[in-house]
């Protein structure tokens, strides 16, 4: 029951007692016994050296494994052999006879007419720009080719009538798309083959198509009469209502 004064004094000095005074360092949230920083720094340096040595071993083993796998068919990117055979590129446009049927040529590429999977197809190929660095030209061409294909699909989802996309050939930087039976708006204006009613109708269709693209956050970037195709009503060049 009742503690003697000597017992309370001994309890205060005992480390495990509740009555033992709390050291100042413990109240501050740190250890009561200050540590010597020099052994800790030395220990950290030793740990860093150990990790660095282990990383070097892993890198060396990985590099040796890559070299071994390279003999089996894989390519060592760091020490690629000059005798490695480049990947064979297939000239699809030439095989389909596209070079003999050049439809038009602009500042960005050439347009060919071919038969692709039994369908009348238009091939738009972006050619290389010799005034640009080859690496930069390859990156820009690949980026713009993919952007054009994605823009066509996005415009179609927004309700804009676009040619059907058949195939994208990144090796030849070409897009295979449906051949629209008709003429460009530029050709129709030059031929003076449209009546007042036709021009009003086509103008309204162009306005609605542009509004759909802009409402969907899509900007054409080169909206000219040469890039607007007017499809014939029956696909054979006959009379009737033309659609954009």
Give one DSSP letter per residue of 60-82, joined into a string: HHHHHHHHHHHHTT---STT--T
Residue 127 token pair? 């050619």
Phi, psi (degrees; rounded to nearest 5) at 191: -75, -15
Other CB atoms within 10 Å distance of the CB of residue 125: 20
Tell me the Cα Rg of the chain.
38
Which listed residue (49, 76, 222, 232) is catalytic?
222
| Contact criterion met (CB below 8 Å) for 109 and 125 | yes
Element housing 172 (H / E): none
Q: What is the rounded CA–CA span in Å between residue 86 and residue 83?
A: 9
Q: Computed from CA positions of residues 213, 163, 227, 200, in that sequence, does the dihedral angle turn out positive or negative?
A: negative
Q: What is the rounded CA–CA span in Å between residue 94 and residue 119?
A: 17
Q: Is 191 a catalytic residue?
A: no
Q: What is the rounded CA–CA span in Å between residue 164 and residue 185?
A: 19
Residue 239 token pair? 């009379």
3-state secondary structure at position 178 = strand
Catalytic residue numbers read 222
């Amino acid at each position: 029951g009742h503690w003697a004064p000597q017992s309370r004094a001994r309890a205060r000095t005992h480390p495990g007692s509740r009555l033992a005074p709390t050291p100042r360092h413990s109240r501050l949230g740190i250890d009561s016994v200050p540590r010597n920083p020099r052994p800790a720094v030395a220990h950290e340096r030793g740990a860093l050296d150990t990790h660095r040595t282990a990383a070097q071993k892993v890198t060396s083993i990985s590099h040796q494994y890559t070299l071994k796998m390279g003999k089996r068919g894989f390519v060592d990117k760091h020490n690629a052999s000059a005798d490695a055979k480049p990947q064979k590129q297939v000239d699809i446009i030439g095989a389909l006879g596209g070079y003999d049927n050049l439809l038009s040529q602009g500042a960005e590429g050439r347009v060919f007419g071919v038969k692709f999977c039994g369908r009348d197809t238009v091939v738009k190929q972006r050619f290389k720009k010799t005034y640009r660095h080859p690496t930069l030209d390859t990156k820009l061409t690949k980026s713009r080719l993919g952007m054009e294909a994605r823009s066509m699909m996005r415009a179609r989802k927004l309700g804009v009538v676009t040619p059907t996309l058949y195939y994208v050939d990144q090796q030849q930087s070409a897009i295979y798309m449906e051949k629209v039976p008709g003429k460009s708006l530029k050709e129709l204006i030059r031929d003076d083959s449209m009546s007042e009613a036709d021009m009003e109708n086509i103008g309204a269709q162009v306005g609605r198509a542009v509004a759909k693209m802009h409402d969907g956050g899509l900007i054409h970037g080169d909206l000219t009469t040469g890039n607007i195709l007017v499809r014939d009503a029956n696909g054979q060049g006959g009379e009737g209502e033309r659609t954009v």
